[in-house]
Amino acid sequence: MATLPVEVKTTLSESSDIVFETGKYEVCTTTVRTSHSSKPPTRLFIVAPLTEGTYDVLLFCHGFMLANTWYTNLLRHIASHGYIVVAPKFYGCIPISIPAEVKKAAQVTKWLSTGLPLVLPDKVNLDISNLALSGHSRGGKTAFALALGELDKKSHKKKKPLVRDNPNLPKFKALIGIDPVGGSAPSCRPPPRILEYIPRCFNMSVPIAVIGTGYGNQSLCICPPFAPDGVNHSEFFNESKPPACYFLTKDYGHCDMLDDGIANCLSFISKSGKGSKDLMRKSVGGIVVAFLRTYLGGDQKDLDAIVNDPSVAPIILDPVIYV
């Protein structure tokens, strides 16, 4: 693991400062039910710009026992910078298995090209060729599993190729794990068991960013940690092939990027940071935007500025690593 070399260090640009603030686009939120004429495979929460134009798409997977709408402020921040965010609802009160989540996420991915245009604001279009994937907590694992092509149960019985991309889905151009969690312990990892504890072993060519939390691996009273060591952000980054970025939000907890009301409630069972949740959301959202600009838009100056000078973020990022 290494940081960017000193000779390519950049100074903070005006745009890299702006990624941590609300973007220039006014956005709207829409809930699309399965009864809609576009026939989505599950209920969707969509955040999109209102300004006429064509925008890249981010598919976002929510965490275990969390709702897709509980990330509204974070997703609005990302969309305000010129992205369409689609967040599927995976289950109601009763959780489904992770393979079932992966399958449902894959169905949504296939739906995007034909169904999403039918539910977007007038004169707002999508660029399906610029598609990114993200997820929080267990949704982070779901996102990684989808990018790895973990849809065929027989694939575990076959030797995996060096680099694998699922030919049955549109190609993801970026993958972002927000405090991803692979299970409750290394010995308790529900399928698909994508963590192999071999450095740089993930069989995919997608650029990866992993955003971890400093308190996610800590218990709170009798409540176990939500992101235990051995199955959390550190291992996901360790197994990611370059190019890969790692950002640790040192003084924040596993649920601190959720909307305020939910984050405050969850602070009774999951260790939370004492700092502003709004600054946490701006930091996570800004990192996501900088990474998308790099690998979907070809403009790396914002990501370089954050990597080389993490103090530009509203909260402490330590460490920051780019390989």
pLDDT tens column, 73-90: 999 999 999 999 999 999
On the CB side of 192, CA atoms within 13 Å amount to 25
* 84 dihedral zone (left: phi>0; alpha: psi -120 to 50; beta): beta
Place of tokens 């060519």: 205
- Residues taking part in catalysis: 137, 179, 254
| pLDDT bucket at 95, cuts 50 / 70 / 90 | confident
> What's the mean pLDDT when you consider all of the chain?
90
Pairing of strands 317-322, 124-136: unpaired
List b or e across 28-39, with b for residues whose CB sees 16 or more CB atoms inside 10 angstroms. Answer: eeeebeeeeeee
Q: Tokens for 7, please give them.
A: 């000779």
Tens-place pLDDT, residues 266-287: 999 999 999 999 999 999 999 9
Predicted confidence at residue 5, as pLDDT, reads 36
Cα–Cα distance for residue pair 118/105, rounded to 1 Å: 19
Q: Tokens for 22, please give them.
A: 């609300």
Q: Which domains does the chain have, with CATH numbers?
A: 6-322 (3.40.50.1820)
pLDDT top residue among 306 and 1? 306
| pLDDT bucket at 165, cuts 50 / 70 / 90 | low
- Among 59, 10, 311, CA closest to 174: 59
Separation of CA 105 from chain center: 13
Tens-place pLDDT, residues 168-215: 667 899 999 999 999 999 999 999 999 999 999 999 999 999 999 999
pTM for the predicted model, two decimal places: 0.91
Tens-place pLDDT, residues 185-197: 999 999 999 999 9
pLDDT exceeds cutoff 70 at 158: no
